[in-house]
Amino acid sequence: MNKRISLGAAVTLIIVAIAATFSVTFVIAMRNFDYNLKQVSKRQEMFEYITLVDKDVRQNYYGKINEDKLREALAKGYISGIGDP
């Protein structure tokens, strides 16, 4: 017994498989995009805060700022702030 499916049924199955693949891929991509967008928003808030502090310090500090020392201290403070020795 050799069972064959009609050409119309085969094309329909292929279209359904393509639609299902597209739908699953789209849902996964949107979840990934939403997650990444939230991470960017969190980082943006942090950088806005750092920018605000930097602006305030530069406006009110009367001495000359050593940019190299500032960058080094910023990195050390960042590492210290997350609890990494």
- 3-state SS of the chain? CCCCCCHHHHHHHHHHHHHHHHHHHHHHHHHHHHHHHHHHHHHHHHHHHHHHHHHHHHHHCCCCCCHHHHHHHHHHHHHHHCCCC
pLDDT value of residue 1: 58
Question: Which residues have C-beta within 8 Å of that of residue 57, sequence separation ≥ 6?
Answer: 65
Could you tell me the mean pLDDT of each successive run of 10 residues in the chain, 85 residues long? 84 97 97 92 91 93 93 91 82
pTM: 0.54
